[in-house]
A = this chain, B = another copy of it.
């Protein structure tokens, strides 16, 4: 018996570059994540359109999805920061609320770090808010080995600081 004979009912799960078919699910996950406001949801949409139109090399935004069968459980978007040699931004990372606690976010972030390294990146930068609403996000980055290298008071709004998390890779 060779391995191809083994039938399994385990759902295929994998991380891969996003394609046009994943667009609606990416939008749904962004809207349903509970941490993004309307302007941020529209920003994801704009980057996604650029990604589809220009491709990742053309626009600098790389979208990857974590999917189980045809269902997208989460996505990440990263790319090189203009005018730097080796600094990469993690623009977005979001997981479907129904798929939390399964390691989807960790797998997406690890994949983003690996891709950054392969593209010559020396660091991955994740910017987030200092408000209590984003406490689990900050814990997630700390747990993944990121350091909070800078904090800009009142950046997003009065009382809403920018926290710059960085992992040197």
A residues with a Cβ closer than 8 A to B are: 39-40, 43, 82-87, 122-123, 125, 149-158, 164, 166, 168
A168, B40: Cα distance in complex, Å: 25
Whether A87 pairs with B150 at a CB distance below 8 angstroms is no
Contacts of A40 in B (CB 8 A): 83
Min CB distance A124 to B, Å, is 12
Closest B-chain residue to A149, C-beta based? B152
Question: A166 contacts B150, CB within 8 Å?
Answer: no
Interface of chain A, main secondary structure? strand
- Top 10 A-B pairs, shortest CB-CB distance: A150-B150, A85-B157, A84-B156, A87-B155, A149-B152, A39-B83, A40-B83, A84-B155, A150-B152, A43-B83
B150 x A85 contact (CB < 8 A): no
**Residues on B with beta carbons closer than 8 Å to the beta carbon of A83:** 39-40, 43, 156
Contact B164–A84 (Cβ < 8 Å): no
Can you list 26 residue pairs at the A/B interface with Cβ under 8 Å? A39-B82, A39-B83, A40-B83, A43-B82, A43-B83, A84-B155, A84-B156, A84-B157, A85-B156, A85-B157, A86-B154, A86-B157, A86-B158, A87-B152, A87-B156, A122-B154, A122-B158, A123-B154, A123-B155, A125-B152, A149-B150, A149-B152, A150-B151, A150-B164, A152-B166, A154-B168
